[in-house]
Amino acid sequence: MSSERLVDPDVEVTEVEDEHLVDAALRPRTLDEFIGQHRVREQLGLVLEASKRRGRVPDHVLLSGSPGLGKTTLAMIIAAEVEQPLRITSGPAIQHAGDLAAILSSLSEGEVLFLDEIHRMSRPAEEMLYLAMEDFRVDVVVGKGPGATAIPLEIPPFTLVGATTRAGLLPGPLRDRFGFTAHMDFYEPADLERVLTRSARLLGVQMTPEGGREIAGRSRGTPRIANRLLRRVRDFAQVRADGVVTEEVAREALVVYEVDEIGLDRLDRAVLQALVGSFGGGPVGVSTLAVAVGEERETVEEVAEPFLVRAGLLARTPRGRVATPAAWAHLGMTPPRGAAAGAGTPDLFTDQGADDT
């Protein structure tokens, strides 16, 4: 897949109706345009500039971090900076070594291959990738059993950009083959305000600094969420106000969309309210908690829980999930004595086994 832009940079985004095209238009195209992640941006800039001066393809790059922090955008920027096409695929799409061999053998020299969710790639494909990353070669096995023959296939030099939200699941041999690794941190509110100011300009939205600050404070440190909230606040401002995103308009809009002052949404609050209201603050197993809020365990564990833990509202203990004093305070309730440690809560609410961890 080429990294060529899908929209004309001179065309105002308000003329583009497709939401996917809007997302593409809001993406920075160069490292200079990329906001935040200052250390990663500086380090990556050195890697790319050095490779251009040597006339060689850049080292393989591994980007880790939570969803929405800019890993895909950085992959696109890397391809743009070295003036090479970008091929995009993902770990779940590569279930057989043959799938990877087909992709690698079709790469052109210097091409950038972006492999999202690299930790979900199958083990046979992973082992083939080791050789491709080091020696730019793959061994294609022809036949089965004792008569099977491995035919070496040379592939042109390329740059692999891997992205993962769970770096701990990557095996050591794979991590070691990346020449540059970077962890993407959550954004500070000031950087999110800059992201929102840029996005508002591209979207043709009038926004006051106070309006941007209000949205940034509810964006959970994530640019993707900030841009999504900006579009919804824009809708509210156009329909129920004069089209200008002020602090008051942003606050009213986000009440409508059920995003509270620290960024909790409906699911987050449902989890906290169930934990506090139904289970006395815990400890309670995540499966039990998921049933209480009418969601799948994976949804609670992967969507709601990470931010609640990071915000200091929920703690994971060996016996289950526990609401912190901050969670009780956020819900306007007073915790019972010992609630912070889960003391005195019946074991009835704690799921057994791996669910408790």
Q: Give the residue numbers annotated as catalytic, written as ranges.
A: 71-72, 116, 165, 224
Task: Look at the chain and count its residues.
Answer: 357
> Helices marked H in the chain — which ranges?
19-26, 38-54, 71-81, 97-105, 123-135, 172-175, 189-203, 209-217, 223-240, 247-256, 266-273, 286-293, 297-299, 305-310, 325-330
Q: How far apart are CA 86 and CA 79, in angstroms?
A: 6
Tokens 């059993």 belong to residue: 145
For residue 181, the SS3 value is strand
Q: How far apart are CA 86 and CA 77, in angstroms?
A: 10
Instruction: Check if the beta carbon of residue 92 is closer than 8 Å to that of residue 120.
Output: yes
Exposed/middle/buried for residue 309 (C-beta within 10 Å: 0-12, 13-18, 19+): middle
Paired with 323 in beta bridges are 314
User: In the 8-state DSSP scheme, what is residue 27?
Assistant: S
Instruction: Check if the beta carbon of residue 285 is closer than 8 Å to that of residue 301.
Output: no
Tokens 């022809």 belong to residue: 142
Rounded (5°) CA angle 7-74-213 = 80
Q: How far apart are CA 28 and CA 33, in angstroms?
A: 5
